Amino acid sequence: MARMSKRISNKITKTKEQQNAPKEQKKYGKDIWLILLIVINFLLLVTMWESLILAPISFATYLVLEIALVIMYANRHAKVSDNVREWLYKAQIFFMGIILLLFLYTVVAYIFG
């Protein structure tokens, strides 16, 4: 009987400790650099619109970069299932690959053109 009451009291104290445990606080500003990059890239797209439209490769690079940054932010902060999170990660890598190819094309065109 004493053993049973001890088990019950242990369970009660454990549940009280779990209820009184402080909840995790969200760290604000964790992705401040990512947000800053999104805003700067958007401002560049808006302010340099006329110049970028004349150079389609540069325009595509900035546009795809903006898409990749937004997907990266969504992947970190959206409450989605693991399957959707995996697709967001794959899309992020895909768009970063496109950015790399566009950048390499620009460099090669600058050197040999």
Rg, C-alpha atoms of the chain? 25
Does any domain span residue 2?
no
Confidence of residue 49 (pLDDT cuts 50, 70, 90): confident
Cα 105 to Cα 7, 17, 102, distances in angstroms: 70, 60, 5
Does any domain span residue 15?
no
For residue range 5-26, list pLDDT tens digits in order: 777 777 777 666 666 655 666 6
Does any domain span residue 106?
yes
Does any domain span residue 50?
yes
Q: What does the buried/exposed string (b/e) look like for 38-74 if buried means 16 or more CB atoms within 10 Å of the residue's CB?
A: beebeeeeeeeeeebeeeeebbbbbebbbbbbbbbbe
Does pLDDT of 98 surpass 90? yes
Nearest to 46 by CA among 22, 64, 62: 62
Work out how many domains the chain is built from and give that number: 1
Q: Is the pTM of this model over 0.75?
A: no
Query: Which strand (E) or helix (H) includes residue 20?
Result: helix 2-20
User: In whole angstroms, what is the distance from residue 85 CA to residue 68 CA?
Assistant: 14
Confidence of residue 96 (pLDDT cuts 50, 70, 90): very high
Does pLDDT of 99 surpass 70? yes
Cα 55 to Cα 42, 52, 61, distances in angstroms: 17, 5, 10
Residue 58 sits at φ, ψ, to 5 deg, of -65, -40
pLDDT for the residue 47:
93
pLDDT for the residue 24:
61
Does any domain span residue 62?
yes
Give the range of the structural domain holding residue 94, as residue numbers without chain letter.
31-112
Does any domain span residue 77?
yes
pLDDT for the residue 30:
76
Does any domain span residue 81?
yes
Does any domain span residue 51?
yes
Instruction: Give the residue with greater pLDDT, 14 vs 50.
Output: 50
